[in-house]
Structure 1
Amino acid sequence: MGMGDRMVVWWMVCGIVMWAWSGVEAQGYWETVVDNAGISTMHAAVTHYGNVVLLDRTNIGPSQLALGAGVCRDNPADRALTHDCTAHSALFTPGSNAIRPLMVQTDTWCSSGQFDANGMLMQTGGDADGVSKIRHFTPCGGGGCDWVELDGGLQEGRWYASNQILPDGTQIVVGGRGSGTVEYVPANGRGTYDLPLLYKTNDAQMDNLYPFVHLLPNNQLYIFANRDSCLYDWETNTVVRDYPTIPGEPRNYPSGGSSVMLPLSAAADYGNAEILVCGGAAFGAYMNPGGQPASQTCGRLAPLAADPGWAMETMPTRRVMGDMILLPTREVLIINGAAGGAQGWGNAENPVKTPVLYKPYNAAGARFQTLAGSPIPRVYHSTANLLPDGRVLVAGSNTHQFYTLAGYLPTELRIETFSPPYLGAGRPNFAAAPGGLKYGAAFTATVKAAGAKNIELNLASAPFVTHSFAQGQRLLQLETGAPVAAGGGAFTVASKAPTTAAVAPAGYYMLFPVADGSVGNAAWVKVG
């Protein structure tokens, strides 16, 4: 082979490598940021300090994360280890990737939670000694914050329930194993109230657990369980209407589908609420494990429409126990899960390692894009949370009753981040951003985004993620005027805060600058 031929071959190889690398970037990329967190994350939530609360159950025996010199947890009610010097909760700090152990006393297995208006994480229920517990975690940037277990508890035991913060600042806690009621925390004199939907949907394998609860912009709740749903007035504790049954399989735990309310937009006066439900498991996959194929469908419903009905779509792959994350670009990331089986010990089959991007504003049939896959399976008891730098934090996966670090689908202690395609070169960033937003009030932000034609300011909540559902998740596209050049590649953007607490309940949110589809680091803002 002559020199000319070798040069042609060399350029061909370079071209192939460059094409392959570009393809990976276009599909996002993964990074393992912690090789051993010491605990397997069952629940996760991002605080307004940017660090992440990780939680597992307590009655599993020792974890691999020590509580610290001379610190132990003594709990005579623990089923596995009454004197335990290891942690079952931790605080993870992105960037430094540091892990700090936290002390949680009662069992948080399959519990629920949400941040309140002041950024405190309120955590409710669990199993055994934790079933009626209320716990608080007040975030901090240093090493002083830890879990506090309250003396008062829930009015009814809640295991596999869902929480949603309300416009009045309280949280509704919906359902749970053996429960057909809702209650409020703090109760403020309110009791427990029957929710007919939960009795109607309680089939032989209890497919109504971890119900999907979304606060609609009309101040009412959309609640979905199994395959049915209703509109619920939390102020009068009455069902306003029932919706058609979604076609296909059961969608809630243990059948493990997921749901989001698609982003609300100021351009539609925040009245454009649509619910998306994706995945699930064949009925009986939990009672008779055998790797039955998971659901491959998504359903989309406009709950405030005059005559709402389900519009069905087909995902690129079957998926059960996946997570759905609203991204700053107003798209939905469907990540984690398996192609068969159901949630529960050892029930996962054929892990799905490739996330899918759902583009809600594309035409039907052109909404799904398959992204880069991870080498690590993430099935039962895994989590996915949006970080303020735009990455998605992925942790957990334990399909065993106890920590099992060998064999098929071992307990996963590694933490990864997934960087979506919008985190490429030339990202925008804030030169100036507000620290707080008052309902309906105008504000301005300065965004550095050289050459940008379109700049969005999108507001994302920080949900409590567990069991394939991000409790309290919402994203708003704020009103913005045309960017005004401010020199040095920066633009001033005039905007307006959300209009009401039904659109955005009071609390801390991540405000993301998005320039021509590229996403910058968020600024934390307090709304209310």
Structure 2
Amino acid sequence: MFKRPEIWHLKYLFPAVLVLFLSFTIAAVAVAAGSQAHLKGRFGLLHDWPVVPIAMMLMPDGRVVAYGTDTVGTQIGNLLYVTWDPTLGIGSNAFETLPNTTLTDIYCAGQAHLPDGRGLFFGGDAFLNTKRQYAHDNVNIFDSSTDTLTHLPQNMTFKRWYATAVTLPNGQHAVMGGRNSRDFPGTRTIPATVATYSPTPEVRAKNGRWRTLSSATSDAAYGALGSTGEEAWFYPRAWVNPQGKLFILGHNGAMYQLNTSGTGTLSKYLSTIAPGLNSLPSIMYAPGRILSIRDNRTAFVVNINGNGEPVVTSGGTLAKNRQYSNATVLANGFVWVNGGSSTGNDLVGAALDSELWNPNTRVWKSTARAATPRLYHSTSLLLPDGSVITGGGGTPGPLTQLNGEIYYPPYLFKKDGSGQFSPRPVIVDAPTTMISWNQQFSIEATESIFRVTLVRIGATTHAFNNETRFFNLSTPQKGNNIVTVKTPVSARVAPPGFYMLFVWNIDGTPSVAKIVQIG
């Protein structure tokens, strides 16, 4: 068992640990070949995972917690969960498989971070009368300082399976959507049921108490069905907007605003966006701006920074239709999309190559090719060294993916076409205690700093990373080894919690991140 306090101490006080991290990064990828790495990036070795990582969360200590199945890729009631320490590489010693002793099933649960960095899991699957895929109302918490999963005493008001949880500016959590019962035809031992859903959102206070938003009930926004028959309950796409309300982007193209005060108020915008699918990703790539991939390879940018209607503009066209793909905001603010299939959760139209979106030009380009498909129940997550872990898929098939690959983006390579990793700056001083919003702080690195970026630690499942946020921090003293920057202006754009802080050298290469707390 790792001793988390010591790891935290070392990571923040000794650059040598970061050098070890970088050594693993370089060793994990063959340097030969790959002359296109500075343009397309490159995948590392396909490696084993103890479970199918259907869900992943980055924790404040730099490790990943993942869960989804047992060790042979089967869905089970008290599923196992796994921690992975990227600084230890991709061998078996980097993983720790832990039992779920809570007597609750977090398969396809909602998930979010607490402001103190612990992971919250809302609802999940239930096993009733020998049948799976009902739902439950349990709330569980994962503490990375002890590697324990705990069932909390205060349950949700509604049962939820496939729900979304959103971290609010005050550190509370809004939970919406999800199914609460499946359709069973009935037998002599099991009564017939109809599929039912949870169309009323609720808010969890920081003390664990729940408040129902009874005035904001809706089948169309996050209940049974949207207006075109698309499942609104399936992980509703929702974020806090810069005004402090919730913005909801419907799978069917409708858009809503949810005020979580009191018993809640839901309003529908007049503006719409092209229809999409619940298997297509949407992600907030900049403050108040969402990149949403819709039907027919089209992407759109939804700007929710204004007080009026959302502004929808083109985000370009992807090369491929990518159902069940994942979108990841990289350390430089570009969005990388990998996996998926044009024919659904099957191998016929599976895409091994990936695509990279430039938010400045809104142009997509083809990037590196993976070793294996990533379809339904796959995940991708940005790591502190600026790479992306992508893994999982299956349960159900077509492949049971007890494995992962690491994608190394173009910014990690020399631009001379040699395929060699570029030398990286190292952060030698950054805040080690919690900082507030709109607060100045200093950073020192081993070489001149030309850019500073901030990325919220992510939580991803089912083509949706609902926690990630990206910020370019203004750097007036660029070109110095010590710079002073300022945190995002408020909790409405940067929810309380932990963020990866990257500095960039003149070659456009990032450091390994320091993880800082804002609250």
TM > 0.5: yes
Match of 2:60 among 16, 25, 48: 48
Which of 466, 474, 482 aligns to 1:471? It is 466
Compared with structure 1, are the counterparts of its residues 189 and 48 closer, same or farther at alpha carbon in structure 2 (3 Å cutoff)?
closer
Amino acid at match of 2:392: G
Per the TM alignment, residue 309 of structure 1 is displaced from its structure 2 partner at its CA by 4.0
Partner of 1:180: 199
SS in 1 for 2:37: helix
Please say if residues 112 and 464 of structure 1, whose CA atoms lie closer than 8 Å, have aligned partners that are also in contact: no
**1:458 touches 1:511 (CA, 8 Å); kept in 2?**
yes
Deviation at 1:482, TM superposition (A): 2.1
Greater shift, 92-101 or 375-384, is seen at: 92-101
Cross-structure match for 2:487: 497
Which AA in structure 1 matches 2:170?
D
After superposition, give the CA deviation of every residue in 1:442-486 in whole Å (9 maximum; x if it has no partner).
Answer: 111012335x6xx2221111121000000222112223212253x
Does the 8 Å CA contact 2:283/2:466 hold for their aligned counterparts?
Answer: no
Residue 434, structure 1, aligned to residue 436, structure 2: no
- Alignment correspondent of 1:128: 126
Q: Which string of whole-angstrom CA distances, capped at 9 and with x for unpartnered residues, describes residues 253-282 of structure 1?
A: xxx111112213xxxxxxxx22211145xx
- Asked whether the 8 Å contact 1:223–1:230 carries over to 2, the reply is yes
Structure 2 partner of 1:238: 265
1:325 partner amino acid = T
Q: Pick the aligned partner of 1:222 from 225, 243, 247.
A: 247
**Which residue matches 2:364?**
368
Q: Which amino acid aligns with 2:372?
A: I
Task: Report the Cα offset of residue 156 of structure 1.
Answer: 0.2
Question: 1:290 maps to what in 2?
Answer: none
**Alpha-carbon distance in structure 1 between the residues aligned to 2:286 and 2:505:** 17
Deviation string 1:44-93 (CA, Å, 9 cap, x unpaired) is 00101111101105xxxx5249xxxxxxxxxxxxx9878x8xx6211111
Matched, 1:514 2:504: yes
| Runs of 5+ consecutive residues of structure 1 not aligned to the other structure | 1-17, 66-78, 265-272, 281-294, 486-490
Deviation of the 1:353 alpha carbon = 1.4
SS in 2 for 1:422: helix
Alpha carbons of 1:457 and 1:80: their partners in 2 closer, same or farther (altered >3 Å)? closer
Q: Distance between the aligned counterparts of 2:61 and 2:376, measured in 1?
A: 28
Question: Whole-Å Cα distance in 1 between the matches of residues 348 and 265 of structure 2?
Answer: 40
Distance 1:81 1:323 in 2: 24
Match of 1:94 in 2: 86
CA distance, structure 2, for counterparts of residue 106 and residue 174 of structure 1: 20
- Aligned mate of 1:337, from 340, 356, 367: 340
Is the 2:38–2:412 Cα contact (8 Å) retained in structure 1? no
Give the equivalent residue in structure 2 for 1:11.
Answer: none
Distance 1:348 1:215 in 2: 36
Q: Which residue of 1 aligns with 2:10?
A: none
User: How far apart are residue 331 of structure 1 and its match?
Assistant: 0.9
Could you say which residue in structure 1 is the equivalent of 2:191? Answer: none
Query: Within 2, Cα distance between the matches of 1:164 and 1:468?
Result: 15
Larger CA deviation: 331-340 vs 122-131: 122-131
Whichever residue aligns with residue 131 of structure 1, its letter is H
- Contact kept in structure 1, 2:270 and 2:309, CA below 8 Å: no
Please list the CA deviations of residues 404-433 of structure 1 after superposition, one character each: whole Å capped at 9, or x if unmatched. Answer: 7xxxx4201112110001112122221211
Matched length: 439
Deviation at 1:499, TM superposition (A): 2.0
Identity %: 25
Aligned-partner Cα distance in 1 for 2:447–2:46: 28
Q: Do the aligned partners of 1:464 and 1:472 also contact (CA within 8 Å) in 2? A: yes
Summarize the alignment of residues 3-152 of structure 1 with structure 2, pairs less than 5 Å apart.
Answer: 21-32=34-45, 34-35=47-48, 37-57=49-69, 63-64=71-72, 88-96=80-88, 97=90, 98-104=94-100, 105-128=103-126, 131-140=136-145, 144-152=146-154
- The reply to whether residue 418 of structure 1 matches residue 407 of structure 2 is yes
Report if the CA contact (8 A) 1:279-1:318 is conserved: no
Residues 20 and 427 from structure 1, CA distance in 2 versus in 1: closer, same or farther, beyond 3 angstroms?
same
Distance 1:307 1:192, change over 3 A: closer
**Counterpart residue identity of residue 454, structure 2:** L
Distance 1:449 1:495 in 2: 17
Q: Deviations over 1:359-395 (max 9, x none)?
A: 1111x5xx11111111111101000000001110111
Kindly indicate whether residue 389 of structure 2 is the aligned counterpart of residue 389 of structure 1. Answer: no
Q: Decide whether aligned partners of structure 1 residues 80 and 112 sit closer, same or farther in structure 2, where only a CA change above 3 A counts.
A: closer
Would the aligned equivalents of 2:200 and 2:212 in 1 still touch at CA under 8 Å? no
User: Which secondary structure state, in structure 1, belongs to the residue aligned with residue 342 of structure 2?
Assistant: strand
The one-letter code matched in structure 1 to 2:484 is A
Matched-pair contact (CA < 8 Å) for 1:122–1:134: yes
Shift of 1:349: 3.9
Q: In the alignment, is residue 316 of structure 1 matched against residue 315 of structure 2?
A: no
With over 3 angstroms needed to count, the CA separation of the structure-2 counterparts of 1:146 and 1:348, relative to structure 1, is farther
Provide closer, same or farther for how the CA distance between residues 126 and 458 of structure 1 changes in structure 2, counting only shifts above 3 A: same
Q: Pick which of 301-310 and 331-340 moved more.
A: 301-310
Kindly state the Cα deviation for residue 203 of structure 1 after the two structures are TM-superposed: 5.0
- The alpha carbon displacement at 1:399 in A equals 4.8
TM-aligned CA distance change 1:238 to 1:515, over 3 Å: farther
Contact 1:279/1:322, CA 8 A, preserved across alignment: no
Mapped to 1, the partners of 2:309 and 2:269 lie a distance apart of 11
Q: What CA distance in whole angstroms lies between the structure 2 residues aligned with 1:154 and 1:349?
A: 40
For residues 333 and 87 of structure 2, what CA distance do their matches in structure 1 show?
25
SS at match of 1:336: strand
Q: Which residue number corresponds to residue 130 of structure 2?
A: none
The 2-side partners of 1:497 and 1:80 are apart by 42
Change (3 A) 1:28 1:238: same
Residue 377, structure 1, aligned to residue 373, structure 2: yes
- Aligned AA (1:440): N
Name the CA shift for 1:243/1:80 in 2 (closer, same or farther; >3 Å). same
After TM superposition, the score normalised by the length of structure 1 is 0.78
SS at match of 2:482: strand
C-alpha distance in structure 1 between counterparts of 2:230 and 2:282, whole Å:
20
Please, what is the CA RMSD of the aligned residues?
Answer: 2.5
Measure how far apart 1:101 and its partner are.
Answer: 1.1
One-letter code of the match for 1:139?
Answer: S
The structure with the larger Rg is: 1
Give the direction of change, closer, same or farther, for the CA distance of 1:195–1:520 in structure 2 (3 Å limit).
farther
Aligned AA (1:51): R
Q: By how many angstroms is 1:176 displaced?
A: 1.0
Q: Give distance in 2, aligned partners of 1:246 and 1:499.
A: 29
Cα distance in 2 between the residues matched to 1:203 and 1:347: 24
The answer to whether the Cα contact below 8 Å between 1:213 and 1:224 also exists between their aligned partners in 2 is yes
User: TM-score w.r.t. structure 2 length?
Assistant: 0.79
* Superposed displacement of residue 207, structure 1: 4.8
Report Cα offsets for 1:208-239 as digits up to 9, x if no partner: 41111111222111111222111222225213
SS at match of 1:328: coil
Q: Secondary structure at 1:357's aligned position in 2?
A: strand
AA at the equivalent of 1:182: P
Q: Output the amino acid matched with 1:238.
A: T
Instruction: Provide the C-alpha distance between the structure 2 equivalents of 1:20 and 1:189, rounded to a whole number of angstroms.
Output: 55
Amino acid at match of 1:299: F
User: Separation in 2 of the partners of 1:224 and 1:352?
Assistant: 26
* Superposed CA offset, 1:158-214 (max 9, x none): 111111111111111111121212111236452243343235616545254111111
Q: Give CA deviations for 1:279-330 in whole Å, capped at 9, x if unaligned.
A: 45xxxxxxxxxxxxxx311111212344544323311211111111111111
| Offset at residue 354 of structure 1 (A) | 1.4
Give the corresponding residue for 1:350.
Answer: 349
